[in-house]
Every structure is written in C-alpha cells, then in structure tokens.
Amino acid sequence: MRVHLGLVHHPVCDKNGQRIASAITPVDLHDLARIARTYGVSTFQVITPLSDQQELAERICSHWTAGFGASYNPHRREALELVTVVSSLVDGVQKISAMEGKEPFILATDASRKEEKMISFPDARAMIDRDLVVFLLFGTAWGLAPDALGKADAVLEPIMGVDEYNHLPVRAAAAIILDRLVGDHT
C-alpha cells in the first residue's frame, strides 16, 4: 500500500467556522505517528505554515528520534521517524509526488455528511488495495476549511455513531479510519 497521512493545521476552521491556522497538539503527533506505524503508512506529514509551530513539531520528533527518547522508547522512535513537517498542502503533495513518481489521490476526511465528491469506506479501501498513491488528510481544530476540501479529489464518508453526536477527537477518527481502510479484519 502507498498511503501517506497529512495532519492539516492550515487552512482549518475554528469553532465559528472561521479560517485559521491551529496550534500543534503534541499528543496528536504521537498518536497519529503510532497509528500510522501500526497500519503501514508510508509518511506522516504535519502541515503548518507557522515557523514556530514547525520548530515545535521538529523538536518533539527529534527528542524521540535522535534525543534521549530514542533510546528510552525505541517504539516511539520508530513511529515518529515517519513524521515530516511541511508548510502547506501543496508542498506536501510535491513531496509525495517526488517520492512516489506520481501525484497522489487526495482523500480528505470530514465529520459532517457532505454529498459532493463523497466516497464510501469500501470504495476507498478498494483504491488503496489497487496500490493507488493516496494522501489521506485530517483537519485539526473544527476540521478542514472549504478551500482545503476543494483541493481534494474525494472526501471520505463520515464515521457515524449511534446518533447525531459527531465529536470524535482527530486522534480517534484517524485510528478508526485507518483501521477501516487498511486494517486486517480477517
């Protein structure tokens, strides 16, 4: 499989739907890296245009990949080695294109049901099974801004719980979505 993960900090929405750049949440980096490593994801891009936030992300990763943490917890090193920090979605796509020799299919995720460009979990899974290069995007804060969704080739159907409550942490959503798309359920 050739799946790349992107955690987008800009452009995302705030609580009121305004377009913002969100701050790095360290536990998101740790959790998504461990989830990515578990499911065989190729790279995990942390996407933020803010230089201080890029430095923060780099510092967290280097602590666990080269610093004290690397010998203290090798499993965490192995996970965080998948992380690269990029400044925009466009840069992220270029990086993947250079690595894979072709442009990735951009598959965005969103918690609300939108019909346009929506694809089902089985259809997305089938694309990954056919070895398509997929860039799976998660939005932080209140989710990907409309212009980020607009750049996507498709938007994955949302995870539905028992009722209309749809407030999973991005960490949990990423775990469930990767399990549904590439997990071994036999």
For residue 80, give the H/E element and its range: helix 74-80
At CA 153, angle to CA 19 and CA 79, rounded to 5? Answer: 75
149 burial via Cβ count (<10 Å: 0-12, 13-18, 19+): buried
- Piece of 6-14, 52-60, 133-141, 164-172 that binds a second copy (CB under 8 A): 164-172
Closer CB to a second copy, 9 or 171, in the complex: 171
Interaction of residue 151 with a second copy, rule CB under 8 A: no
Asked whether 65 and 56 are in contact (CB, 8 A), the reply is no
List the one residue from 24, 31, 47, 145 that touches a second copy (CB under 8 A). 31
List the one residue from 6, 45, 76, 133 that touches a second copy (CB under 8 A). 76
Closer CB to a second copy, 86 or 134, in the complex: 134
- Calculate the dihedral angle through the C-alpha atoms of 93, 89, 166, 33, rounding to the nearest 10 degrees: 70
4 burial via Cβ count (<10 Å: 0-12, 13-18, 19+): buried
Nearest to 178 by CA among 27, 35, 43, 2: 35
- Piece of 35-43, 87-95, 96-104, 146-154 that binds a second copy (CB under 8 A): 35-43
List the one residue from 115, 116, 131, 163 that touches a second copy (CB under 8 A). 163
Closer CB to a second copy, 87 or 119, in the complex: 119
Q: Which residues bind a second copy (CB under 8 A)?
A: 27, 30-31, 34-35, 37-40, 75-76, 78-79, 121, 159-163, 165-169, 171-176, 179-180, 182-185
